[in-house]
Structure 1
Amino acid sequence: MSRPCIALIADPTSPEGCREYLADAVELLTGAPPVRVDSRHFATGGTGRGVRHGNRLRLQVPEQRLDFVPDVVLLYEIPPHHRRALAGFQRLLESHGVVTLAAGPDAWRTATEKNLTVERFRRDGIAQMETAVLSRPSPTEAADVFERLGRDTWARPVVGTGGNDTFHVDTSARLERAAAYYAERDTDWLLSRDAGNVTADGLRHQFRVFVLGDRVVHAREHLQPATDTPCNTCQGATAVHLAPSDLPPRLAELAVAATASVGLPFAGVDLAAENGGVVFEVNVQPAFVDGERELHAVAVPYVQAHLDALAAACGGPRRGLTASA
């Protein structure tokens, strides 16, 4: 059987580098590198084209001198603020039956825009800390919400990334600064009750759980010595890797349920064990860290899932490392 043609479509302006992990995973599983495509060509106003080729989709990117028919599309590492511009491309992939785990634009939007995530969790009974969505609140309105949430809260923008623009708000002065910050940027924001997720030795901590379908493929605990700073590795938190079997079962179940709630086939779920287990957010395209470890623990299973879906669509055996093991 010939090697599948895999398109890796990512935004090269992202600093996370997930595309390198995915490219390595593709080569490990198929013996050939993916076709790399700049996702901006398929965003609104881009010159990339998708045309019907028999019962398949042909992708044409004049700027990159690309004209090919992919068997699989990996659409990944798209910064949150750029995702809505790819909604049309996602619908194009879906309408042509392209094998991809990129999901649809509705799932991306629900997970990316945190006000929608909060509402979806409320609908589906996914445990979360009490949260209010604020849109240019008056000082009195913001103060009233702050009081109701116990005066120990976290503020974050509706759309953000990497813990940027997120603040621990536990004084009136911090509340005023956060409100002014978001007002200056003309963005809606959320205020959530603090989860009290601090260890006995004073480290802020939470879990990042990688969910693929109905199973956890990897997890890590993030330990942050700066308790007023988000528990993201890019914000200085240390990652402690966990095998799926080492994650408390209730947290694994909660992560899978949260991923299903927003409609994603793959996600990185941030949650805490405190308060019986609560979800902070569901990341559409979680970043990979620690080189070889997450290449094999996360990137390879993610690509393998695409190969399995391709094999199922073609009525053949599973492809890749799993098929040859």
Structure 2
Amino acid sequence: MSRPRIALIADPTSPEGCREYLAEAAELLTGTPPVRIDSRHFERGGGGRGVRDGDRLRLQVPQEDLDLVPDVVVLYEIPPHRRAALADFQLLLERCGTVTLGTGPDAWRTATEKNLTVERFRRDGIAQMETAVLSRPTAAEARDAFERLGGDTWARPVVGTGGNDTFHVTTPDRLAEAVAYYAGLDTDWLLSKDAGNVTADGQRHQFRVFVLGGRIVHAREHLQPEDDTPCNTCQGATPVHLGPHGLPPRLAELAIAATASVGLPFAGVDLAVENGGVVFEVNVQPAFVDGELPLVAVPYIEAHLEALELAGGARPLQLRRGDRLPSR
């Protein structure tokens, strides 16, 4: 029985560690580890190249002595600020019919650049908190947006990760700090009305919902004791696993609709139940936490292997968590 050859292309500078989960999932499902490749080789100007090999794609990285015709490409853990540089490579994967869920540079961009996400949600009627997109605003322009949004807001850059460079803005002085901060970064930013997503005991809470192929595969709740801190696990929020059926139906429907709106086959959707249910953002490559190897990483790799089988490729070995791997 043939073993699919998986190329796991990721950025090793990322601190999230998703590639470790995915590598373990790939080995669990196929009996052999994936071939790991530094994604920076395939950025514009990088030393890697992809060339046609019959009806397949051959990946070559001369400086790494790598020459590979993969059955599957898993493209993951690309930091937001590096994604645009991989757009040409994504299009090459598409043109060559490579089995991957990592194509679609337009969808990546729509979800990565949050100003574009806001506009897409408005177009498609996806519930979100009222948001102003600001580009080097004057003090008066920022103040007008702040007052229009009710004076209790969150500021964040149009491209960011893990809740970094994000502020709870509730006073004019804090607003002035945000204006100066983003001007120093030379970036556009968003100012959104606070969702009021606070529990009775004063904790911020929101949900992270993993959507794959139009269905919920897993969900967790985040609880953040610091009211002025983003509700991300990397910012100190505690994750509570709920499973795919632990969400209110309205939130499940909203997460699936938000993922479809930006055009992604897989995403991690951040949303709150307050205000009837609102989406904060759609994450192109959501980070995993402890316990999510079988809950998210394995289903994600399984989806690639199922796509390979549908394309007429090698039939994957079917192993369950805890099964003994075949000898190599």
What is the TM-score of this pair, normalised by structure 1?
0.97
Which of residues 310, 313, 319 is equivalent to 2:311? 313
Of 293, 298, 301, which residue of structure 2 is paired with 1:300? Answer: 298
- Structure 2: segments with no counterpart, 5+ residues: 324-328
Q: Report the CA distance between 1:65 and its aligned residue.
A: 1.2
1:57-96 equivalent positions in 2, closer than 5 A = 57-96=57-96
Separation of aligned partners in 2, 1:317 and 1:207? 35
Shift of 1:315: 6.9
Q: CA offsets per residue over residues 222-253 of structure 1, 9 Å max, x none? A: 00000000000000000011111111111011
Count of matched residue positions in the alignment of Structure 1 and Structure 2 = 321
1:319, CA displacement in angstroms? Answer: 5.0
After TM superposition, give the deviation of residue 63 of structure 1 in Å: 2.0
Q: 1:58·1:69 contact (CA, 8 Å) conserved in 2?
A: yes
Runs of 4+ in 1 over 4 A off after TM superposition: 315-319
1:23 aligned partner? 23
Q: How does 1:90-239 map to 2 (within 5 A)?
A: 90-239=90-239
Compute the displacement of 1:301 (Å): 0.1
2:283 counterpart residue number: 283
For 1:194 and 1:271, how far apart are their aligned partners in 2? 12
Shift of 1:119: 0.3
Specify the alignment match of 2:326 in structure 1: none
d(CA) in 1 for partners of 2:172, 2:150:
12
What is the DSSP-based 3-state SS (H/G/I as helix, E as strand, rest coil) of the residue aligned with 1:282?
strand
RMSD, matched Cα: 1.2
Matched letter for residue 6 of structure 1: I
Q: Letter of the 1:69 partner, please give it.
A: V
1:249 maps to 249
Give the distance between the partners of 2:297 and 2:224, measured in 1 at CA: 25
Write the distance in 1 (CA, Å) between the matches of 2:154 and 2:78. 25
Report the CA distance shift for 1:318/1:36 in structure 2 as closer, same or farther (over 3 A): closer
Equivalent pair of 1:212/1:302 in contact (CA under 8 Å): yes
The letter of the residue matching 2:310 is A
Note if contact 2:91-2:103 (Cα within 8 Å) is conserved in structure 1: no
| Per-residue deviation, 1:316 | 7.2
Cα pair 1:22 1:299 within 8 Å, conserved? yes
Q: CA deviation at 1:103?
A: 2.8
Partner residue, 1:40: 40
Q: Quick check: 2:72–2:99 contact (8 Å CA) kept in 1?
A: yes
SS in 1 for 2:4: coil
Secondary structure (helix, strand or coil) at the match of 1:155 reads strand
How far does residue 321 in structure 1 lie from its aligned partner after superposition? Answer: 3.4
Q: What per-residue deviation string (whole Å, max 9, x for no partner) do you get for residues 85-133 of structure 1?
A: 0000000000000000013100000000000000000000000000010
Unaligned runs of 5+ in 1: none
Give the 3-state SS of the residue equivalent to 2:156 in structure 1: strand
Q: Contact 1:307 / 1:320 at 8 angstroms: preserved in 2? A: no
Give the Cα separation in 2 of the matches to 1:63 and 1:164: 34
Change (3 A) 1:23 1:316: closer
Instruction: Specify the code of the residue in structure 2 equivalent to 1:186.
Output: D
Write the distance in 2 (CA, Å) between the matches of 1:227 and 1:96. 48
Supply the distance in 2 between the matched residues of 1:244 and 1:321 (Cα, whole angstroms).
22
